[in-house]
Amino acid sequence: MTILKLLEGLAVKSSTGPLDAEIKGIAYDSRLIKEGFLFVAVNGFSVDGHDYIRDAINRGAAAIVSEKAAACLTNADQSADQKSAAFIEVPDSREALALISAAFYGKPSTSLSLIGITGTNGKTTTSFITKNILDAGDKRAGLLGTICYITGDERVAASHTTPESLDLQRCLGEMVYNNMSYAVLEVSSHALALKRVEGCTFKTAAFTNFSQDHLDFHGTMDEYFRAKCRIFNYLASEGTAVLNWDDPAIRPLVKKLDCKVVTCGLEEGAMIRAENIRSQKSEVRSQNTDTPLIPSLARGDKEGLKGLSFDVQTPESRFTINSHLIGRINVYNVLMSVGIAYSLGISDEVIQRGIENAKPVEGRFENVDEGQNFLCIVDYAHTDDALKKLIQEARHLTKGRVITVFGCGGNRDKTKRSLMGAAASELSDSIIVTSDNPRNEDPLEIIKDVLKGISKNNYTVQPDRELAIKEAVAMAKEGDTVLIAGKGHEDYQEIKGKRHHFSDKEVLKEAIRKLLAMSQEL
């Protein structure tokens, strides 16, 4: 595809050099440039791509797209290099990268039914359930999210919740090549703020819930919310917004959005409601209370951890859902997936089958059972709201104590650290404050921030996460619940810019096995 063709519909301030050259590839990292590639200079968080324009040209770039264009080179560089490279100046390099990438890969979103899912929590589980429903209806569906990317028959580990625009369009192109008709995307607030989904058109856009996170990036809750709401700017003219009716931050969007809207919830007024949620004996309350939606599962009886059932009322029908997932959060995740499927015109029978076939998602309220007489749950909860809901669910799954192990990530929103400490201390019987992904911060300084929110004397500090998990297992008695929160599916710990292999689940399993072996010896 020629440079000129790639620039169609793009805002261009100026251009110099030959625009009829065929472009063989695109890169925003100069080290990936090959002969005949187009280089987009993007100002990133740690480096500015404009500083690498000369390197891109030396590697054979046929075109440079930049917010500064030729001004980034010296006059001498320009006279020597402009004979072979075109320079295109644009108002916004990130937007240009997205639109050029979409054009290069044949605008794949026009050949796919795109489903975008945003929200502070629940995106991953909702996306997997949604894909499962599509699969149950014999619709080939790809998935891009926090855990993995599925663009064909293989599944690869994810690098970002939502890939950079170039990588996103490449993945969508692979889905089209592999004859997929649907794509389920987790859409992060970062991706929306950084215009990674420019060039995409969603058939359905869902907003699962909203609570504090990422203030290190967005600055304020208002800006964070505005970023989330940008997903609706990418809806097709006939597209549908699926909203959590029970979330007080989201409900006002019902009247503000100029599109079809489907609301899901437990409270009166929701178009799609969950009713008669059952597992044993407890009554149902709304998301905004501290009372569990599902009953006490035999108070420590792990046989109770088999799933949940509830009735779904839609504008046209009523049917029963049976799911292997457990807990209040998953009632909402399942319900949001039902709303998405409803917006796509999928039958009740397919929805039921897809949900029943859906397995628990890795690192999302995942039960780790090695034969011990207490519960162990691994979860990705890394905000105060998610941690609060996690502990509340655990409280109603056990007759004994709730022991919570958690930490906070470094180089991220510092204001949530004390809030997480307060939630954990208030709701748990015992907590062990440890390290998460400290990144470039001192783990002890992060822990100090967490401790500022703790007012009860029910905590210990163990900076070594492996030792913290082992200590929690050693503390547990019959009927207790051990929660390991914060990292979920992650198999690494990021320290001083390097990722070291670390899996909460692996460490937890090993600790339980050793405990059981010791008890047998006694």
- 85-124: per-residue pLDDT in tens? 999 999 999 999 999 999 999 999 999 999 999 999 999 9
DSSP H/E element including 170 = helix 165-177
Asked whether 29 and 40 are in contact (CB, 8 A), the reply is: no
345 — alpha (psi -120 to 50), left (phi > 0) or beta?
Answer: left
**pLDDT for 324-363, tens place per residue?**
998 777 999 999 999 999 999 999 999 999 999 999 899 9
pLDDT at 441 over 50: yes
Q: Give the tens place of pLDDT for each residue, 387-433.
A: 999 999 899 888 899 999 999 999 998 999 999 999 999 999 999 99
DSSP state of 48: B
Residue 71's pLDDT is: 58
Q: What pLDDT is attached to residue 6?
A: 96
Rounded-to-10 torsion of CA 396, 397, 403, 405? -100
Three-class secondary structure of residue 129 per DSSP: helix
Task: Give 27-61 pLDDT, tens digit per residue.
Answer: 999 999 999 999 999 988 778 999 999 999 999 99
Tokens describing residue 398 = 């056990």
pLDDT in the model for residue 73: 55
**Is it the case that residue 84 has pLDDT exceeding 90?**
no
Rounded CA-CA distance 46/69 in Å is: 20
The Cβ of residue 291 has, within 10 Å, a number of other Cβ atoms equal to 12
The mean of the pLDDT values for the chain is 90
Q: Please determine, for residue 146, whether its predicted confidence score (pLDDT) is greater than 70.
A: yes
Residue 303 clears pLDDT 60, i.e. is over it = no
Whether residue 68 has pLDDT greater than 60: yes
Q: Quick one: pLDDT at residue 77?
A: 52
Residue 102 contacts residue 108 (beta carbons within 8 Å): yes
Does 287 score more than 50 pLDDT? no
Identify the H or E element spanning 80: helix 75-81
- What pLDDT was estimated at residue 83? 52
Q: With H, G, I as helix, E, B as strand and everything else as coil, classify residue 405.
A: strand
Strand order of the β-sheet with 25-27 is 14-16, 86-89, 63-66, 37-40, 25-27
Query: Mean per-residue pLDDT for 465-492?
Result: 96
Nearest-angstrom CA–CA distance, 149 and 470: 32
Checking if the pLDDT of 242 tops 90, the result is yes
pTM exceeds 0.95, yes or no: no
Mean pLDDT score, 465-475: 97
Q: For residue 289, is pLDDT > 60? A: no
Reported as a single tens digit per residue, the pLDDT across 129-144 is 999 999 999 999 999 9
When pLDDT is cut at 50, 70 and 90, the band that residue 72 belongs to is low
Kind of pairing between the strands at 148-150 and 155-157: antiparallel
Q: What confidence tens digit (pLDDT) does each residue in 183-230 have?
A: 999 999 999 999 999 999 999 999 999 988 888 888 899 999 999 999
Concatenated DSSP letters for 277-326? EESSSPPP--TTSSS-SS---TTT-GGGTT-EEEEEE-SS-EEEEEES--
Confidence of residue 70 (pLDDT cuts 50, 70, 90): low
Contact partners, residue 450, CB within 8 Å, separation at least 6: 407, 408, 417, 418, 420, 421, 433
In which order are the strands placed within the sheet that holds 366-367? Answer: 366-367, 375-379, 481-485, 402-406, 430-433, 459-461
Full strand arrangement of the beta sheet holding 272-278: 155-157, 148-150, 141-144, 182-186, 113-118, 202-207, 235-244, 260-265, 272-278, 308-313, 318-323
Range of lowest pLDDT (75-79, 212-216, 503-507): 75-79
pLDDT for the residue 305? 62
Q: Which pLDDT score is estimated for 188? A: 94
Task: Report the C-alpha gap between 408 and 419 in whole angstroms.
Answer: 11
Mean of the pLDDT values across residues 487-507? Answer: 94
Three-state DSSP string of 450-482? HHCCCCCCCEEECCCHHHHHHHHHHHCCCCCEE
Q: What is the pLDDT at residue 166? A: 97
Strands 492-495 and 498-501: antiparallel
Q: Which of 206-220, 294-308, 367-381 has the lowest mean pLDDT?
A: 294-308
Rounded to 5°, angle at Cα 316 from 128 and 360: 20
What's residue 291's pLDDT?
Answer: 42
pLDDT tens, position by position, 7-35: 999 999 999 989 999 999 999 999 999 99
Residue whose tokens read 């029978």: 349
- Kindly compute the dihedral angle of the four CA atoms of residues 442, 363, 343, 310, in this order, to the nearest 10 degrees: -130
| Domains observed in the chain | 3-93 (3.40.1390.10), 105-357 (3.40.1190.10), 366-521 (3.90.190.20)
